[in-house]
Amino acid sequence: MDMKVAKKKLGIKERYGHMTRGLGWEPTYQPADAVFPYDKYEGIKIHDWDKWVDPFRLTMDAYWKYQGEKDRKLYAVIEAFAQNNGHLNITDARYLSAIKLFWQGVSPLENYVVQGFARAGRHFRGEASRVACQMQAVDELRHYQTQAHSISNYNKYYNGFHSQRHMWDRVWYLSVPKSFGEDALTAGPFEFLIAISFSFEYVLTNLLFVPFMSGAAYNGDMSTVTFGFSAQSDESRHMTLGIEAIKFLLEQDPANVPIVQGWIDKWFWRGSKVLALVGMMMDYMLPKRVMSWKEAWEIYAEENGGALFRDLARYGIRPPKGWADACEAKDHISHQVWLLFYEYGGAAAFHTWSLTNEELDWLSAKYPDSFDKYYRPRLEFLRDKHARGERVYQSTLPTLCTTCQIPLCFTEPGDPTKISHRETVYEDEKYVFCSVHCQEIFCNEPEKFVQSWLPVNQIYQGNCFNPDVDPTAPDFDPLKAVLEYFKYNLGRDNGEFEGSEDQRNFAMWRGQASKN
């Protein structure tokens, strides 16, 4: 055949450029600021979007191919898990609390960021950055949906999963991740990117996924292991987006550096507070433990994060302000949060329990500097009370931090006996915080954080009862009314594990399935 011309071979970078950057154009019939109205008000200056480095080069044809293959495999496992009663392979029904916490508190965030990344994927002026954000948007849709489909099977047999969506908008402890997600979504597109792609995906994601997924693997939960590992290749793309995004912002203009630094300070601290829930899960909820929260923090935050911030120093970025305090807290937060949930166990939609001696010894060994001194005595005291038939349940409402929304349960840096507490008066109103860092976040954006929907305050104002209840009735039980507003099945979703329906059913079904 007679070839007309020898065609030029395009390099991968050039070819990808045609597939992404080449598609866009500068509008002329509408002002660019009308088409892209959100990328200036945060004060970030971008001089040249062409300097954006593509974090990965994936065209849609390749995307569909890889993702299609992954999902064919993943759904085969989900299917088999459901067919074969895979849930009976978990170590112990206590493990279910870990997945409940994930489903209630993490999965909704996956879904939240779909819209956030779609907005970023529409509103940055640089096409290449938009394509990267869009791919993350649709990946996050995948994560939420694969989690819903995996957990669907647990929901059929166990409590605490059924009303995750309803609870997310109402339940006291879920306002911690909810306000975190909404803080990011209501921020401008650049802050959103630093909050989610950099601070969360790049700096902290390993502290969320590695503990949950290895916890699942250790505890026989094949379904969670599979969706977790299947999400990991997406996550590595999300992480590179985070690191490329921050470098790009920092290189574009020196005036961006202090703005980005402020966001890093804020989002690192906010993220570390949300992760306190993961710490509790690792140290207390896994019948078979993987590593302690403290060990995970040392590897994934201190080592990896330390190296990262040494690397970013050349841009004038220093480690986040709360870094030292967050590192000190690694000895304490998992215990403090578990004690909180144990004592407020009546109001949590997962079970809590007393630890065995073996488990207490494990914690003593993992936390030589703090556990025996501050936490073991309290846990043993609570266990003794429970053994005497006096399971402790707190019924007074706690005070919430206005920023992170966690009840005041953390202690003062340097003094693990003293609950940390800060106050600020803003426009004649008093606001309370768990730490100096949460206080500072508030003071930087008071107009935003005065809007916090604080569940405890809302309960006091009577906003957390179903419309058909009558708070003036003589037999009105406010706590019960609130839990009904949360859509708890009282006595089945909440409270002590020992004697729970989940415990009984799991034991019975496993007995049936393993008998010959």
Partner 1 sequence: MSVEIKAVEIKPLRNTFTNVAELIGGDKPASRYQEATLGVQATTNMHYRPTWEPEFELFDPRRSAIQMREWYDLKDPRQLYYASWTIQRAKEQETQEANFDFVESRCLHLSLPDHVKKLALDVLLPLRHAAWGANMNNNEFCSRAFSEVLISPAIMQAMDNLGIAQYLTRLGLLLDEPEVLDIAKAQWMTGEAWQPLRHMIEDSFVVRDFMEIFLVQNFVFDGLIYPLIYDRFVDDTLTSQGGSAVAMLTSFMPMWFGQSSKWVDGVLKVAVAESEQNKALISQWTTTWRDRAVAALTPIAAMAFGNNQETMLNEVVEQFNARAKKLGIVA
Residue 75 binds: one of Fe ion, partner 1, Zn ion, none (C-beta under 5 to 8 A by kind): partner 1
Q: Which of 258, 282, 394 is nearest to 335 (CA)?
A: 282
Name which of Zn ion, partner 1, Fe ion, none residue 165 binds, using a CB cut-off of 5 to 8 Å depending on partner kind. partner 1
Say which residues have a Cβ less than 8 Å from residue 156's Cβ, sequence separation at least 6: none
Could you say which of 296, 337, 404, 482 contacts Zn ion (CB under 5 A)? 404
Contact (CB, 8 A) for 338 and 374: no
Asked whether position 438 contacts Zn ion by CB under 5 A, the answer is: yes
By CB under 5 A, which span of 137-145, 156-164, 321-329, 397-405 interacts with Fe ion?
A: 137-145
At 25, is the secondary structure helix, strand, or coil? coil
Binding to Fe ion in span 202-241, by CB under 5 A: 238
**Encoding tokens for residue 425?**
């008066």
Nearest-approach distance from CB 52 to Fe ion, in angstroms = 19
For the segment 417-436, give every residue that binds Zn ion (CB under 5 A).
Answer: 434
User: Residue 262 in contact with residue 74, Cβ under 8 Å?
Assistant: no
419 three-class SS? strand
Please tell me the distance from the alpha carbon of residue 370 to that of residue 335, in angstroms, as a whole number: 10
Task: Tell me which of 136, 224, 403, 411 binds Zn ion, using CB under 5 A.
Answer: 403
- Degrees to nearest 5, angle at CA 106 with 186 and 396: 90
* Residue 401 interaction partner, one of partner 1, Zn ion, Fe ion, none, beta carbon < 5-8 Å per kind: Zn ion
Q: What angle do CA 268, 270, 276 make, to 5 degrees?
A: 100
403 binds, among Zn ion, Fe ion, partner 1, none (CB under 5 to 8 A by kind): Zn ion
Binding mask 351-390 for Zn ion (x = CB under 5 A): ----------------------------------------
Q: Which is nearer to Zn ion, 243 or 333 (CB)?
A: 333
- Number of helices (H), then strands (E), in the chain: 24, 4
Q: Residue 404's binding partner, choosing from Fe ion, Zn ion, partner 1, none, with beta-carbon cut-off 5 to 8 A by kind?
A: Zn ion
- Give residues 85-124 in contact with Fe ion (rule: CB under 5 A): 110
Taking Cα atoms as reference points, which of 441, 28, 76, 99 lies closest to residue 226?
Answer: 76
Shortest distance, position 168 Cβ to partner 1, whole Å: 6
Residue nearer to Zn ion on the CB measure, 216 or 434: 434
Stretch of residues binding Zn ion (CB under 5 A), selected from 16-24, 81-89, 398-406, 490-498:
398-406
Does residue 204 belong to the site contacting Zn ion (CB under 5 A)? no
How many CB atoms sit inside 10 A of residue 292's CB?
22
Nearest approach, Cβ of residue 507 and Fe ion (Å) = 34
Q: Which does 73 bind (CB under 5 to 8 A by kind): Zn ion, partner 1, Fe ion, none?
A: none
Integer-rounded Cα radius of gyration of the chain: 24
Nearer of residues 399 and 505 to partner 1, judged by Cβ? 505
Q: Give how far Cα 65 sits from Cα of 58, 69, 203, Å.
A: 11, 6, 29
Q: Does 142 bind Fe ion (CB under 5 A)?
A: no
Residue closer to Fe ion by CB (options 88, 138) is: 138
Q: Among 465, 461, 452, 490, which residue's Cα sits nearest to residue 175?
A: 452
Residue ranges in 237-256 that form contacts with Fe ion under rule CB under 5 A? 238
Nearer to Zn ion, 171 or 290 (CB): 171
Q: How many CB atoms lie within 10 A of CB 244?
A: 21
Kindly tell me which of 21 and 143 has the beta carbon lying closer to Fe ion: 143
Q: Which of 116, 56, 312, 314 is nearest to 203 (CA)?
A: 312
* Closer CB to Fe ion, 147 or 261, in the complex: 147
Taking CA atoms, 290 is separated from 210, 273, 305, 390, 489, in Å, by 10, 21, 21, 32, 32
* 10 burial level (CB within 10 Å; 0-12, 13-18, 19+): exposed
Minimum CB separation from partner 1 for residue 20, in Å? Answer: 8
Q: Which does 304 bind (CB under 5 to 8 A by kind): Zn ion, Fe ion, partner 1, none?
A: none
Least distance from C-beta 474 to Zn ion, angstroms? 38
Collapsed DSSP state (helix, strand, coil) of residue 412: strand
Interface residues with Fe ion (CB under 5 A) are: 110, 140, 143, 238
